[in-house]
Structure 1
Amino acid sequence: MTRLRVDWPACRGRGLCQEVFPELIDLDEWGYPVLDGPVPDDQVARARDAVRVCPTLALRLVGG
């Protein structure tokens, strides 16, 4: 099972990850990501894109 994880001290709440992968990433009222469960196998490429656009390298894929 593949999941997205956030390095909270590194995250600055810019929201780029949510723009790239809105199906699995929501934003809270302060702009920080709220992750909605494991990444479906057919969405792993989009999750990688979300990881790639994070300007602070706070998002990563684990497992799978």
Structure 2
Amino acid sequence: MKKDNQINAESIKEQSRRSGLSYNEAKEYIARTTGGHGTNIYSNTDLEAVKRKNQKSEDNKS
């Protein structure tokens, strides 16, 4: 019986791997691609680079 359970568990794991994104992967993808509210934890934006660019732009206006 143990062998059947092992085979069944492996089958389920394989099916899960082929089925696409996990819930958390889907949530992260949606956050990264839609810019929804409260998604900053998924952002890969370099905040310091943005601040420098904004400051340079402001300096050029004067």
Q: Same-fold call, TM > 0.5?
A: no
Q: TM-score, normalised by structure 2?
A: 0.19
The structure carrying a bigger strand percent of its residues is 1
If the length of structure 1 is used for normalisation, what is the TM-score? 0.19
More helix by share: 2
Greater C-alpha Rg:
2
